Structure 1
Amino acid sequence: MQTERLIMRSWRDGDREPFARMNADPEVMRYFPALLTRAESDAAVDRIQASIDENGFGMWAIERIDTGAFIGFVGLAIPRFEAPFTPCVEVGWRLTPEAWGQGYATEAARRSLEAGFEEFGLEEIISMAVVSNLASRAVMERIGMTLDPDGDFDHPLVPDGHPLRRHVLYRISRPDPAGG
């Protein structure tokens, strides 16, 4: 898939090193309970690509059209945990710091929503973030998602008592083709 400035694609072996560097960056990972080792990062690539192969969608590797640089991932995923809103499909992103503040997450997330609704027939897509992750929450709002006021939850993959355990939930439904 493609947007005006980005290519959204399957993962390549050459993506592993910059992805591992990103996952070991404390600033990138500040809303996650831990940094990832190289082995954990490589395992994540394998899981993500397996989802793309199995479902047709996943967290696509993102590269800039103008430079060919890998800048992270954006896409659709099926959460691997149980919560009141699962099963579901979420839209998510993680970008390198050099890509922050340039609208890339918003641009690719919009394209992901479009694919989810038009190409994969999804009725609803969710997104979630740590309560204090205002940058990701702003992206969710820019792409038309709405905060679910009853959706706040303790993320089951984050340890009890951890300051990043509480998450907010955003939702968006398939647009009505009649415009109503």
Structure 2
Amino acid sequence: MPTTLSTDRLTLRTYADADADALFDLHSRVEVQRWLGDGKPMTDVAQARASIVRRREVPYHEPMGIWAIDFEGRLVGTLLLKPIPISGTPQAADSSNPKFALDSPEIEIGWHLHPDVWGKGIATEAATRVLEHASALPRIVAVTYPQNLPSQRVTARLGMRDAGLTDRYYNLTMRLFVLERGRLDVAR
């Protein structure tokens, strides 16, 4: 389970069983899911419960993890730092499997938030805190759908370099952003 981290406004913590309704609310929204995985919204709170169990069972090693983001006493999103699945690998074929791509040499940072808190700087703040926590990692990548301009703006605020389009990850063509050792002086 990941280390609990905090900022002035946020707590980043392990997912709890009590988060199921809020997680379902987040992942049942088309506007959130369009940027994630297969793009299919959750249709039942049981899917959220199963997702919470998977998030807690993934054997990531420090400083990696999947964090629930709390803002003003409520779950508003997820921040992750984990191995990224390489396209064409058997593991990448089933992204619903929490143990896929654990041997990937690349580490990905990613986030998704409830639409009620978009534009409040929460993704940047949460990612900044996790990058500080993971300052010993030599290279971190982020990928976005080419049309996901809000997330691309977050990567810029984090000091990540735009490395162009790639089909190296998730069996998709994505825009790649890279943060390398020496560039971990995260913009606030």
Q: Same fold (TM over 0.5)?
A: yes
Task: Choose the corresponding residue for 2:123, options 99, 105, 119.
Answer: 105
Task: Choose the corresponding residue for 2:167, options 136, 153, 161.
Answer: 153
Task: Choose the corresponding residue for 2:55, options 48, 60, 76.
Answer: 48
Task: Choose the corresponding residue for 1:63, options 70, 77, 92.
Answer: 70
Q: Give the 5 Å matches for 1:162-177.
A: 165-175=172-182
**Runs of 5+ unmatched residues, structure 1:** 158-164
Q: Secondary structure at the match of 1:101?
A: coil
CA distance in 2, matches of 1:127, 1:13: 28
**Runs of 5+ unmatched residues, structure 2:** 89-103
> What number of residue pairs does the alignment pair up?
161
CA contact (8 A) 1:75 1:108 kept: no
Task: Choose the corresponding residue for 1:77, options 75, 82, 99.
Answer: 82
Asked if 1:18 corresponds to 2:25, the answer is: no
Deviation at 1:77, TM superposition (A): 1.7
CA distance in 2, matches of 1:43, 1:154: 29
User: How has the CA–CA distance of structure 1 residues 174 and 47 changed in structure 2, closer, same or farther, with 3 Å as cutoff?
Assistant: farther
CA distance in 2, matches of 1:42, 1:130: 27
Deviation at 1:3, TM superposition (A): 1.0
User: How has the CA–CA distance of structure 1 residues 60 and 156 changed in structure 2, closer, same or farther, with 3 Å as cutoff?
Assistant: closer
Asked if 1:125 corresponds to 2:140, the answer is: yes
CA contact (8 A) 2:60 2:82 kept: no
Task: Give percent identity, aligned residues only.
Answer: 30
